[in-house]
Amino acid sequence: MDLRDGLADINVPTLVIGGKHDRMTPPIQTRRLATHIRDACYVELNAGHLPNREVAQRFNAEVTEFLLARASPP
């Protein structure tokens, strides 16, 4: 399913995480995805297709940092 035409309609903070060694969704594709989403942040981890499993600590740190940077003050 190709949903790339709708990427420009995304207008919420977005974090795109890709794996440097991902063969299923190569880095060129994840970078392209991020460039088509307004103000998206892109992170490339030293992993394959499942960075949340392969480098879980780093993945979680990136997601946490992204979310905390956008958290509303108490």
pTM, rounded to two decimals: 0.89
Q: Round to whole Å and give the CA distance between 55 and 67.
A: 18
Positive or negative, the CA dihedral 64, 65, 69, 73 is positive
pLDDT surpassing 80 at residue 38 = yes
Instruction: Tell which wins on pLDDT, 16 or 73.
Output: 16
Sole residue written with tokens 């940077």: 69
What 3-state DSSP class applies to 50? coil
Supply the pLDDT for residue 13: 95
